[in-house]
Amino acid sequence: MKTTHLLPLLLLAITLTNCDIKTTQETLGTEATDTVTERASLYYEFTSFIKKYGDCKTDTSVHCTRINLNYPIFKSEQRPELTNRINNETQEAVLQLVFPDTAENKSLELFADRFISDYKEIKEAFGEAFGWYANLDGKVLRNDSLIVSLELAADMYTGGAHGSYYLQYLNFDVKTGNKLAFESLFVPNFGDKLNDIVELEFRKKYDIKPNQDLSDEGFQFENGKYYNDNNFALLPEGIKFYYNSYEIAPYSKGPSEILVKYTDLKGLLKENLMVM
């Protein structure tokens, strides 16, 4: 009887002064997210950046400040330039999500140091303070011979009534490793037709009548543009558009998202970029 061995979990721990920073790599091989057909996919691992300060004896320690960032890194011995492009864009997006206020010399170490330093100042000024946290979870939503689609979700708390949550999608051309620009997916003059399709899907999902003003339900779309060309995921079945809190609605409504199937976009999409 043959035994199937799972690929090993590789752990790399780096200890720094008065804190723990760990890099964890999980071997995921060529796992593909498209279950309809088997297609070639890129090899990737997950890397984690972890740093803590304060009373962190248990996972529920309220006076522990934590940074925990986890996202995929792609590797290829045959085409390292391709995976390097994907990784560079991914790491830049991670830094932008957790460290948006600094334009130059960004690094995870610098972010963690500043995050903890800011917490210390608050704690010294006001006495005991609940710990802060900065969490980021990355997911590979699609990984086939055409497209890699990633999700990066940042969840942060720096005091106050509630934390902040922000989700960003990234899409890459597997042939080049380049980040896919939204306009490159469509035929010329696609905007008006796409806008009508997305508005229809949005109204269906949130049960808003065709003649009802969207502002009556608390939604505000700038210049009447319903599709979000800055935050979209190219999933196997269609394009998901995501709107973070405050983008089109108040915080109380939370984020919004809709999925438009590729079958509804025939005639608008460039056929060589999608499998529908």
In a domain, 199, yes or no: yes
202 and 165 together in one domain: no
**CATH number of the CATH domain containing 196:** 3.90.640.20
Full residue range of the structural domain in which residue 225 is found: 182-273
In a domain, 246, yes or no: yes
In a domain, 85, yes or no: yes
In a domain, 55, yes or no: yes
Residues 31-70 have pLDDT tens digits of 333 333 345 689 999 999 999 999 898 877 888 999 999 9
**CATH number of the CATH domain containing 73:** 3.30.565.40
Which pair of structure tokens corresponds to residue 171? 């899409």
118 and 194 together in one domain: no
21 — pLDDT class (breaks 50, 70, 90): very low
pLDDT at residue 150 tops 90: yes
118 and 239 together in one domain: no
pLDDT score of 129: 82
Higher-pLDDT residue of 91 and 29 is 91
In a domain, 4, yes or no: no
Which of 141, 173, 205 delimits the end of a domain?
Answer: 173
Which of 131, 156, 173 delimits the end of a domain?
Answer: 173
In a domain, 202, yes or no: yes
151 and 128 together in one domain: yes
Which of 173, 201, 230 delimits the end of a domain?
Answer: 173
Determine the Cα–Cα distance for residues 262 and 227; give it in Å rounded to an integer.
14
The number of distinct structural domains making up the chain is 2
pLDDT at residue 15 tops 70: no
In a domain, 1, yes or no: no
pLDDT at residue 24 tops 60: no
